[in-house]
């Protein structure tokens, strides 16, 4: 059974690596292309240099971006290995064999885990090393051996090299071990407990501090509009159960999910469960970060390293309900089925629309005008030029000249791109940009609407005959064209 779950999970993740490269992946590609040796993935400081992912992109051959899916292979591998790893964790959490397979299957079908397992970014890596570090800690709590220590050190350090958000996981691991040492029942005295704590965490903590002060603290972070914390919490809950999204019921569903999760956390704490202690500790670390560091921006993906543990927590809650209330079995089975259906619907929408269709849009502009030089403007002077620069290499005999928004009234481009993040949006037939040139709607290129990507609305410069409809055009005022 486990083999088929892993195989099916790998198949789901495999098809996601072929859709178009997204902005963050392209930026990583361009940044890696400035490196002269693999060691610079650690020594050269720039935004978004996530060392492990950058090292893989460098070694796989950054100079040839034609088959960009190859840059996603590491994420595909780590995302697939996450499935059996979760099963091994469930061996320590669930008595019932059926719930081990159910939990593993929910990880296999989880849309956020699938999505980030098909992206050349660090998230699939940090999922794997977060779970692996937790699994190894469970073993170290039982018996400290040299082999487990070395494996834990490697997993801990690779977790930090994957993503800086691993810091939340490391905090949870440290607090969990300290808590268990304090309340450890046995003959070991105070000195032995301190010795065990130093054996397990002295080297990882030193490496973590060195990594932070020598690397992370010097990075300059670009940022866009921050996501409100309530929206981040809602996203985590609705993605966890797979439904409903973007409607009036999503906040209510999030409320129900968090009631179940916190009730289960309370039960686990009363039992002294390692999973409960770890989850509470990690949540505390995230809360302390938000309260005392006051980050100027927040995004769902910055805390997504904890997401697989929410799946474990939810499954443990459903397992407990099924054990205590046999008459609820059909309702629980229906709930699990709905989770599968919701995540499957998101997956098929992702496979259909991907992260956008920028290459296709560029080809359309080239074929529409037949010009050797395509002049393009847009409402985003940071994102759009990066996407155009990357995909222009795949459109032969076409030069791309991007005109910044500040010059659009002086030298109007033939094409104008409006970016829209929302799934449901309205395309205006005619638009006037900053009281300047008028454009006519041509075509919309959509993305799946989740996590990474954007919708592109293509507008063509109005002809002299079309200028007579200027009074009917929508006035578009753009004030922040350079914002990330």
With CA atoms as reference, report the closest residue to 483 among 400, 421, 433, 423. 421
Residue 74 pLDDT > 90: yes
Half-sphere exposure of 154 (CA within 13 A, CB side): 8
- Are residues 152 and 123 part of one domain? yes
pLDDT at 185: 56
Residue 159 pLDDT: 92
Same structural domain for residues 324 and 398?
Answer: no
Does pLDDT of 223 surpass 60? no
Q: Which two tokens stand for residue 450?
A: 């989740």
Residues 331, 400: one domain?
no
Interval 181-191 mean pLDDT: 69
Residue 278 lies in a domain: yes
DSSP class of residue 323?
A: H
Q: Which residue from 399, 397, 416 is spatially nearest to 407, judged by alpha carbons? A: 416
- pLDDT over 70 (residue 143): yes
Total domains present in the chain: 2
Asked if 461 and 413 count as a contact pair (C-beta separation under 8 A), the reply is yes
pLDDT of residue 310: 93
Domain-located, residue 315? yes
Q: How confident is the model at residue 62 (pLDDT cuts 50, 70, 90)?
A: low
Contacts of residue 229, defined as CB under 8 A and 6 or more positions apart, other chains included, come to 290, 298
User: Among 353, 378, 397, where does a domain finish?
Assistant: 353
252 in the same domain as 115: yes
Top pLDDT among 115 and 37 is at: 115
Separation of alpha carbons 424 and 470, rounded Å: 26
Instruction: For residue 155, give every residue at least 6 positions away whose Cβ sits within 8 Å of its Cβ, in sequence order, or none.
Output: 129, 132, 133, 136
Per-residue pLDDT of 359-371, as tens digits, reads 999 999 988 877 7
**Domain stops at, among 316, 332, 353:** 353
pTM for the structure as a whole: 0.90
Q: What is the average pLDDT value for the chain, to the nearest integer?
A: 84
Residue 411 lies in a domain: yes
Q: What is the pLDDT of residue 311?
A: 93
Res 186: pLDDT: 57
pLDDT confidence bin for 347, thresholds 50/70/90 = very high
Name the pairing type of β-strands 455-461 and 415-420: antiparallel
Share of the chain above pLDDT 90, in %: 34
Mean pLDDT confidence for 438-450: 89
Element (H, E) at 277: helix 274-288
Dihedral through CA 27, CA 33, CA 37, CA 39, nearest 10? 0
Give the pLDDT score at 471. 64
Instruction: List the beta strands (DSSP E) in 37-80.
Output: none
| 40 φ/ψ sector (left φ>0, alpha ψ -120 to 50, else beta) | alpha
Q: Per mean pLDDT, which range of 48-57, 173-182, 215-224, 375-384 is the poorest?
A: 215-224
For position 214, what pLDDT does the model report?
66
266-283 mean pLDDT: 90
- Please report the pLDDT score of residue 148 as a whole number: 93
pLDDT band for 444, please (50, 70, 90 cuts).
Answer: very high
**What is the per-residue pLDDT for 406?**
84
In this structure, what token pair is assigned to residue 461? 């410069």
Is 60 exceeded by the pLDDT of residue 306? yes
Are the beta carbons of 80 and 9 closer than 8 angstroms?
yes
Q: Does 42 share its domain with 95?
A: yes
In this structure, are 160 and 117 located in the same domain? Answer: yes
Closest CA relative to residue 320, chosen from 280, 270, 278 = 270
Residue 282 tokens, joined: 């990690």
Residue 65 has pLDDT above 60, yes or no: yes
Q: Please tell me the least confidently modeled range out of 26-30, 43-47, 70-74, 155-159.
A: 43-47
Structure tokens at 57: 């992109």
For 474, the enclosing helix (H) or strand (E) is: strand 474-476
Q: Where are the alpha helices (DSSP H) in 183-245?
A: 190-214, 229-241
Q: Is residue 189 part of a domain?
A: yes
Residue 439 CB neighbours (<10 A)? 29
Task: Evaluate whether 307 touches 112 at the Cβ level (below 8 Å).
Answer: yes
Rounded Cα distance between 306 and 284, Å, is 12
Q: b/e for 401-419, b at 16 or more Cβ within 10 A?
A: ebbebeebeeebbbbbbbe
Band (pLDDT 50/70/90 cuts) for residue 210 is confident
pLDDT (tens digit per residue) in 160-174: 888 888 989 999 999
Tokens at 110, concatenated: 């989880």
Q: How confident is the model at residue 277 (pLDDT cuts 50, 70, 90)?
A: very high
For residues 371 and 289, membership in a common domain is answered with no
Question: To which residue do tokens 């992702």 refer?
Answer: 350
Minimum mean pLDDT range among 178-192, 280-294, 348-362: 178-192
Place of tokens 């949870």: 172
3 state SS of 460: strand
Q: Kind of pairing, strands 474-476 and 430-433?
A: parallel
CA distances from 220 to 37, 46, 166 (A): 22, 7, 19
What number of other Cβ atoms are within 10 A of residue 214's Cβ? Answer: 12
For the segment 441-470, the average pLDDT, to the nearest whole number, is 85
DSSP letter (8 states) at residue 450: S
484 occurs within a structural domain: no
Question: For residue 63, what pLDDT band results from cuts at 50, 70 and 90?
Answer: low
Going by C-alpha positions, the residue among 224, 257, 217 that lies closest to residue 238 is 257
Residues 108 and 251 in one domain: yes
Q: Do 277 and 365 belong to one domain? A: no
State what percent of residues in the chain have pLDDT above 70.
88
| Alpha-carbon distances of 30 from 24, 46, 47, 57, 63, rounded to whole Å | 10, 12, 12, 10, 10
β pairing state of 438-445 and 399-402: unpaired
In a domain, 250, yes or no: yes
Q: Give pLDDT tens digits for 310-328.
A: 999 999 999 988 888 888 8
Residues 77 and 114 in one domain: yes
323 & 362 share domain: no
Asked whether residue 483 is assigned to any structural domain, the reply reads no
The residue among 353, 386, 406 that closes a domain is 353
Tell me, yes or no, whether 325 and 385 share the same domain.
Answer: no
Domain boundaries, position 459: 358-476
């Amino acid at each position: 059974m486990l083999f088929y779950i892993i195989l099916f999970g790998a198949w789901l993740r495999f098809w996601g690596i072929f859709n178009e490269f997204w902005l963050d992946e392209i930026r990583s590609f361009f940044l890696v292309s400035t490196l002269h040796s693999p060691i610079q993935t650690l020594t050269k400081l720039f935004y978004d240099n996530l060392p492990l992912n950058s090292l893989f992109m460098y070694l796989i051959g950054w100079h040839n971006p034609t088959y960009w899916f190859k840059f996603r292979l590491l994420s595909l591998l780590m995302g697939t290995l996450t499935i059996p790893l979760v099963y091994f964790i469930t061996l320590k959490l669930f008595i019932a064999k059926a719930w081990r397979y159910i939990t593993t299957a929910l990880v296999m079908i989880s849309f956020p885990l699938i999505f980030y397992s098909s992206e050349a970014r660090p998230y699939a890596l940090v999922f794997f090393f977060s779970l692996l570090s937790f699994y190894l800690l469970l073993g170290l709590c039982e018996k400290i051996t040299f082999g487990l220590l070395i494996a834990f050190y490697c997993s801990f350090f690779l977790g930090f090299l994957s993503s800086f958000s691993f810091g939340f996981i490391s905090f949870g691991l440290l607090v969990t071990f300290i808590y268990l040492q304090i309340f450890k029942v046995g003959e070991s005295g105070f000195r032995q407990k301190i010795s065990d704590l130093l054996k397990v965490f002295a080297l990882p903590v030193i490496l973590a501090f060195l990594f932070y002060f020598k690397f992370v603290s010097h990075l300059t972070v670009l940022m866009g509009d921050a996501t409100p914390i309530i929206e981040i919490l809602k996203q985590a809950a609705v993605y966890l159960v797979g439904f409903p999204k973007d409607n009036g019921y999503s906040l209510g569903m999030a409320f129900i999910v968090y009631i179940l999760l916190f009730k289960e956390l309370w039960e686990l704490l009363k039992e002294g469960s390692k999973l409960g202690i770890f989850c509470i500790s990690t949540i505390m670390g995230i809360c302390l970060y938000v309260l005392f560091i006051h980050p100027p921006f927040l995004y769902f993906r910055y805390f997504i390293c904890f997401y697989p543990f929410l799946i474990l927590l939810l499954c443990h809650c459903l397992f407990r309900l099924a054990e205590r209330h046999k008459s609820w079995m059909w309702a629980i089975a229906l709930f699990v089925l709905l989770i599968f259906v919701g995540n499957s619907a998101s997956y098929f929408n992702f496979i259909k629309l991907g992260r956008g269709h920028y290459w296709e849009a560029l080809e359309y502009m080239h074929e529409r005008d037949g010009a050797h030089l395509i002049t393009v403007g847009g409402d985003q002077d940071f994102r759009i030029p990066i996407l155009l620069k990357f995909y222009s290499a795949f459109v032969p005999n076409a030069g791309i000249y991007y005109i910044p928004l500040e010059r659009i009234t002086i030298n109007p481009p033939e094409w104008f791109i409006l970016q829209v993040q929302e799934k449901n949006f309205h395309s205006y037939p005619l638009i006037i940009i900053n009281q300047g040139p008028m454009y006519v709607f041509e075509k919309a290129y959509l993305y799946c609407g989740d996590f990474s990507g954007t919708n592109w609305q293509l507008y063509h410069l109005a002809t002299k005959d079309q200028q007579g409809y200027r009074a009917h055009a929508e006035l578009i005022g753009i004030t922040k064209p350079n914002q990330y």
